[in-house]
Structure 1
Amino acid sequence: MARFLLMTFLGLTGAALVHLAIVLMLPRLSENDVWRQIETETAPYRALRLDSQSDRLAMAKSLDPMFAEFVCRYDLAEGMFTITNDTNADFWSVAIFDDHGRIVFASNDRISPSRRIRLGVAMPSQIRAIQQDPRDELRGSIVAESRRSEGFAIVRLFRPDPSWEQVVRNFIAQTQCAPVPV
């Protein structure tokens, strides 16, 4: 009886370890994750809506009707990535992700000094170059460090009802996602 219980315990433990390994490896082995969809559907430095106003990128689509969302893809091989917008919105948040879907940095209008989006993302070597030679166009910007050269930014805007759609469109049109040569 003891041998039977030991074999049952070992079998269940082995099965649990195999299942855990599969769950942990799945994001790395998946070929249709959010990054792959963003990479195929968007050009770098172009805003693409993710909310109910768009039928593209179903995997990344927002389920919250109170927020409008859009994504900008970047490649740090072209220089430092900046995302800026000098208009005011009732609430905005921005999250920077690398190409593995890991969050690099997040901010919102409540913690931004000017309540405007002024954010940069750079590799460590690019940050050192910027520190040695400061640029006027980056003055007042928060610069986040990324160890990976590709990624995307997701911006969320509070939209209490559909009548705010024009405010959202204006905000998206005035948001600039661009590389800054370093």
Structure 2
Amino acid sequence: MARMLYATLIALVGAALVHLAIVLMLPHFSTNDAWRQLENGVEPYVPVRLDRAANGSKLAAAQSLDPMFVVVACRYDLDDGVFVVNAPNIGDFWSVAVFDDFGRVIFSANNRIVVSDTLQLAVALPLQLRALQQTPREAYADAVFAQTRSSRGFVVLRMFRPDSSWEPVAREFADNIECSANPL
């Protein structure tokens, strides 16, 4: 009886470990994650609105977003240079997150960290960031820097929209976001 109980316990622990491993590996092996949808449907450096208020968003990732937020995404490729996002500081709250090409968050911040009226976020590889630190440039004086080890990824900006009357503010926010690559 003790052997049967021991074998059952070993089998249950083994099954739990296998299931846990599968769940943890799903994002890595998924072929329809947010990155793949952006990669296939959006050109690099082109801001695209993902929230439900945006007309005709074809991305499935947009269907599960919070309706209280305006969501804009922009893809980048650091082989083209340092990726820079400029966004206006309007509304009560906004946040920004940098994701790698596996959909993992590399950097996240909100409007409380910027010193100026606008956000300037620069995403760079370690060597690019080192070059910018050794030879500072006036263009990056107020920039917030995010370092990544992956040369491809995307940035997601979100602005809080309390109700539908904020749509003109949301549209102004989304229309004034600029994404670009700046060669070193």
- Per the shorter chain, which TM-score range? over 0.9
Aligned in 2, Cα 1:21/1:86: closer, same or farther, shift over 3 Å?
closer
Question: Aligned partners of 1:78 and 1:16: how far apart in 2?
Answer: 44
Question: Aligned partners of 1:163 and 1:133: how far apart in 2?
Answer: 45
TM-score of the aligned structures, taking structure 2 as reference length: 0.92
Greater shift after overlay, 35-44 or 24-33? Answer: 24-33
Q: How big is each residue's C-alpha offset from its partner over 1:8-56, in whole Å with a ceiling of 9 and x where there is no partner? A: 1121122112111111211111111111111111111111111112332
Give the corresponding residue for 2:67.
65
TM-score of the aligned structures, taking structure 1 as reference length: 0.93
Same amino acid, percent of matched pairs: 51
Alignment of 1:96-107 (within 5 A): 96-107=98-109
Question: Aligned partners of 1:152 and 1:4: how far apart in 2?
Answer: 52
Question: Aligned partners of 1:131 and 1:111: how far apart in 2?
Answer: 20
Give the corresponding residue for 1:141.
143
Give the corresponding residue for 2:154.
152
Question: Aligned partners of 1:89 and 1:4: how far apart in 2?
Answer: 63
Preserved CA contact (<8 Å) 1:47 1:70: yes
Question: Aligned partners of 1:171 and 1:85: how far apart in 2?
Answer: 7
Give the drift of 1:95. 0.8
Alignment of 1:9-20 (within 5 A): 9-20=9-20
Preserved CA contact (<8 Å) 1:109 1:115: no
Give the drift of 1:5. 0.9
Give the drift of 1:75. 0.6
Aligned in 2, Cα 1:164/1:134: closer, same or farther, shift over 3 Å?
same
Give the corresponding residue for 1:48.
48
Equivalent AA in structure 1 for residue 32 of structure 2: N
SS of the equivalent of 2:84 reads strand
Question: Aligned partners of 2:62 and 2:148: how far apart in 1?
Answer: 22
Give the corresponding residue for 1:166.
168
Give the drift of 1:87. 4.9
Listed as ranges, the gaps of 5+ residues in structure 2 are: none
Greater shift after overlay, 86-95 or 167-176? Answer: 86-95
Question: Aligned partners of 1:9 and 1:3: how far apart in 2?
Answer: 10
Question: Aligned partners of 2:130 and 2:104: how far apart in 1?
Answer: 23
Listed as ranges, the gaps of 5+ residues in structure 1 are: none
Give the drift of 1:90. 2.5
Aligned in 2, Cα 1:62/1:2: closer, same or farther, shift over 3 Å?
closer
